Chain A
Amino acid sequence: MWHNVWAVIRREYLQRVRSKWFIVATAGGPLMMAGLIVVPAWLAVQGERDQFNLAVVDGTGVLYEGLAPRLENGGFEVSEARWHANVVTELREQANRGELGGFIMVDELTLETGEALYYSMDVPSALRQVTVQTSVARTALEYQLEQQGVDPEGLLGGGELQVEVLSASGSDISEPQFAIAYGGAFFLYMVILLYAVAVMRATLEEKTSRIVEVIISAMKPSELMLGKIMGVCAVSLTQMTIWIAAAVALLAGAIPMMIAARPELANLEALREIAPGLGLTALFVGFFVFGFLMYSGLYAAVGAMCNSDEEAQQAQFPMITLLVVPIVMVAPIIQAPNTPMATGLSLFPLFSPILMWARVSGGGVPAWQVALSFVLMALMIWVIAAIAGRIYKVGILMSGKRPTLPELWRWVKEA
């Protein structure tokens, strides 16, 4: 038996992993992440670091000390030029000789208004302007605050808000946690649907192309169905592993590098803080696998009992409903994760992947409930395998009209 199942798994896996669709989708995710976050910043950093020597002419005598490290963090090489009457002419000549990319002049006015003069050999990019401007302004502000005897670090760092929740019933979920819970639930919905539909399409294709007749003469329908589902599952896990690895690389590698290079991108640090940890990621994958196994069984049965894409589109309506209902309930359940209704709905196996995830990722759900949901899902997989396997067995060789519900029931009883 396993020789056959294994052959089906390998065929399914290799065919899918080598397909253009898989390569585009798998590489596309991380590339888009990287494209949106990393590349512009990285390019800006790369492009300007090489060419930029910046001289600072400090007319105040107090700003250079604070300004230099800020500019260096922003990618400049900084040197101090002493103030004298002909300093502008002299630096201009240096710049023309290629020794300098430009220079900044700060004076007493800078201390009051943050204004500064920036002589640049080329037209500076917006990012570079902002870097110089904020560096100057922050340094000036820091100096002024110090003069007033105020701690500049706390205020310049954006302060800190301590939240105390007064009512006990509400969720104390933070905004990033909400994003993880909601985004994760939606992502689960998408990938479960995507891959379950892939199983359905593959089944339908085998049926309509009639290759199934050759295969069924060499193995049991249940072996084919199992191999198909396992094969697609392996593909999905491969894809997810690549995505997770890319996210880890982005968060642990690329973002710290970028922040080191460009302090003004420090808000990217927030991404690192809200990213789910190892445990939560594992739970996510667990919910996906169990959800996929339940729905792919149902979808395989639908694929087997239909004769065309159009029929299959209509016949998958019940499953779509089962997936959309929890999505609609995700937001309220994240807000109030421990009401009896939230608990009950999230324990219903076909809703569990989405709703239990939504509750768990917000925190505060007893571990036994999570464990119970997995046990119930496992039972559900068993029930679906028994019923869907029978429909599959009869349907895969049946042509003609799509069966009605009573006919389906007869298949299940007789198969």
Chain B
Amino acid sequence: MRVRAPHSVMGSATESVRIMSDNGFALRLNGVTKRFGKHTAVDGFDFEVPRGVICGLLGPNGSGKTTSIRMIMGILGPDEGTVSLFGEDPDVTRRTKVGYLPEERGVYKKMKCLELITFLGEIRGLHRGEARRRGGAWLDRLGLPEWADKKVEDLSKGMQQKIQFIGTVIHEPELLILDEPFSGLDPINQDVLEEIVRDYHAKGTTILFSTHLMDQAERLCERVCLISNSRKVLDGDLKDIKAAERRGVLAVEFEGPDSWIQGPEVDRIEQTDDGLHLILRDGYDHQPILARAVESGARILRFDLVEPRLHEIFVRHAGGGATDDAGMSDVARRASPSEVAGVGGV
């Protein structure tokens, strides 16, 4: 890492603050916008990933995830805004500090596996011999040693993805950017990949991955950023977001009369493994229900706002909620990165 001290001493107060905070971030996007003709693919995207964090970039298809990642990787230039990696010029740091696995993963089919991995290491700044050595070790680790001298085209799709993944991490990047890394993998290989991602996280590598597999994101991510219709709708620490999203679903247990569970606030009632769930209508509060319950004389054993699963949050914001600007901006404001950075940051 480059030493930034002279700048922070000589620069103005605000600049030094910015640079210092930049050093805490692996990635920072500032008002990044990308247009293709009349279509705006990414609109004023502000986004930060603190160092050492696993962050999920979530959003429906066509929401701008891949375009954002391509701008981070310098494959596309933003029309507006800036990208910085590790607080530095991305063109300088990107090649050696970032590992990138694109969504549409290509290989040189005619190359031998180890040669392809070596080449990918080489263009990431490794010396040929070193790239070869590490490639061999990785093939061993992923159980593919006998494939080293086989052509890539002879491999199954899952195995090709492993080769691509090795090519992504061979230079031991500080930031891993994985675009839909789990798509197309069978459950066993998904677990293998998840394991590796966790290993890298434990080593302090920052990881940003895009996905629409919410279970995976929920298991892996410390932070999430949800984009929909080219805009960020939610961004922050997953725990904070879940806490902020604790509304709308009420788990209840009780003895006695049950008339109170019906009312204008309740959209529907579901019997789940977790007990009875009351799904509230948007904009209604749970407080009048509690009042009604007490009044009815029922004995309340449990009255609990259920923490929503990421899947529900996703659907809530990216599904029908995409047009519900007021509600979204409310949550986005509550969970904006500037507030939660201290929690999620290193």
Verify if B20 is at the interface (C-beta below 8 Å from A).
no
* Stretch of B72-80, B226-234, B323-331 contacting A (4+ beta carbons < 8 Å): B72-80
Task: Kindly list chain A residues whose C-beta atoms are within 8 Å of the C-beta of B6.
Answer: none
**Does the CB pair A217–B109 fall under 8 Å?**
no
**Does the CB pair A210–B102 fall under 8 Å?**
yes
In chain A, what residue has the closest Cβ to B109? A209
* Stretch of B7-15, B116-124, B247-255, B277-285 contacting A (4+ beta carbons < 8 Å): B116-124
* Contact pattern, A 1-22, Cβ under 8 Å of B = 1, otherwise 0: 0011001100100110001000
Q: How near does chain B come to A295, taking the closest CB pair, in angstroms?
A: 24
Which A221-276 residues sit within 8 Å CB-CB of chain B?
none
Verify if B316 is at the interface (C-beta below 8 Å from A).
no
* Contact pattern, A 106-148, Cβ under 8 Å of B = 1, otherwise 0: 0000000000000000000000000000000000000000000
Verify if A213 is at the interface (C-beta below 8 Å from B).
yes
Task: Kindly list chain B residues whose C-beta atoms are within 8 Å of the C-beta of A211.
Answer: 106-108
**Does the CB pair A219–B123 fall under 8 Å?**
yes
Which B74-127 residues sit within 8 Å CB-CB of chain A?
74-76, 94-95, 98, 100-102, 104-111, 115, 119-120, 122-125
Given contacts A210-B102, A214-B100, are A3 and B122 in contact (CB under 8 A)?
Answer: yes
Interface size classification for chain B: 20 to 34
Task: Kindly list chain B residues whose C-beta atoms are within 8 Å of the C-beta of A217.
Answer: 73-75, 94-95, 98, 100, 102
How many pairs, one residue from A and one from B, have CB atoms within 8 Å of each other in the complex?
Answer: 63
**Does the CB pair A214–B106 fall under 8 Å?**
yes
**Does the CB pair A15–B108 fall under 8 Å?**
yes
In chain A, what residue has the closest Cβ to B120? A214
Verify if B236 is at the interface (C-beta below 8 Å from A).
no
Task: Return the contact of A215 from the options B76, B101, B123 (Cβ within 8 A).
Answer: B123
Task: Kindly list chain B residues whose C-beta atoms are within 8 Å of the C-beta of A218.
Answer: 94-95, 123-124
**Does the CB pair A206–B106 fall under 8 Å?**
yes
Verify if A38 is at the interface (C-beta below 8 Å from B).
no
In the assembled complex, the Cα of A14 lies from the Cα of B164 at a distance in Å of 21
The interface size of chain A toward B, counting residues with CB under 8 Å, comes to: 21
Verify if A283 is at the interface (C-beta below 8 Å from B).
no
Task: Kindly list chain B residues whose C-beta atoms are within 8 Å of the C-beta of A8.
Answer: 123
**Does the CB pair B123–A4 fall under 8 Å?**
yes
Q: How near does chain B come to A380, taking the closest CB pair, in angstroms?
A: 29
Given contacts A15-B110, A217-B94, are A7 and B104 in contact (CB under 8 A)?
Answer: no
In chain B, what residue has the closest Cβ to A5? B123
The residue among B75, B76, B104, B106 with the most chain A CB atoms within 10 A of its own CB is B106
Given contacts A15-B110, A206-B106, A218-B95, are A213 and B75 in contact (CB under 8 A)?
Answer: yes
In chain A, what residue has the closest Cβ to B74? A217
Which A181-231 residues sit within 8 Å CB-CB of chain B?
206, 209-219
Verify if A397 is at the interface (C-beta below 8 Å from B).
yes
In the assembled complex, the Cα of A4 lies from the Cα of B125 at a distance in Å of 8
Given contacts A4-B123, A7-B119, are A213 and B110 in contact (CB under 8 A)?
Answer: no
The 10 residue pairs across chains A and B that have the minimum distance between CB atoms: A211-B106, A210-B106, A209-B106, A210-B104, A7-B122, A217-B73, A218-B123, A213-B102, A217-B100, A11-B119
Extra contacts besides A11-B119, A209-B108, A211-B106 (19): CB < 8 Å: A4-B123, A7-B122, A7-B123, A8-B123, A11-B111, A15-B108, A206-B106, A209-B106, A210-B105, A212-B106, A213-B75, A214-B100, A214-B101, A217-B73, A217-B74, A217-B94, A217-B95, A217-B98, A397-B70
Residue contacts A-B, CB under 8 angstroms, 30 given: A3-B122, A7-B122, A7-B123, A11-B111, A15-B108, A15-B110, A206-B106, A209-B106, A210-B102, A210-B105, A211-B106, A211-B107, A212-B106, A213-B70, A213-B104, A214-B100, A214-B102, A214-B105, A214-B106, A214-B164, A214-B167, A214-B168, A216-B75, A217-B75, A217-B94, A217-B95, A218-B94, A218-B95, A218-B123, A397-B76
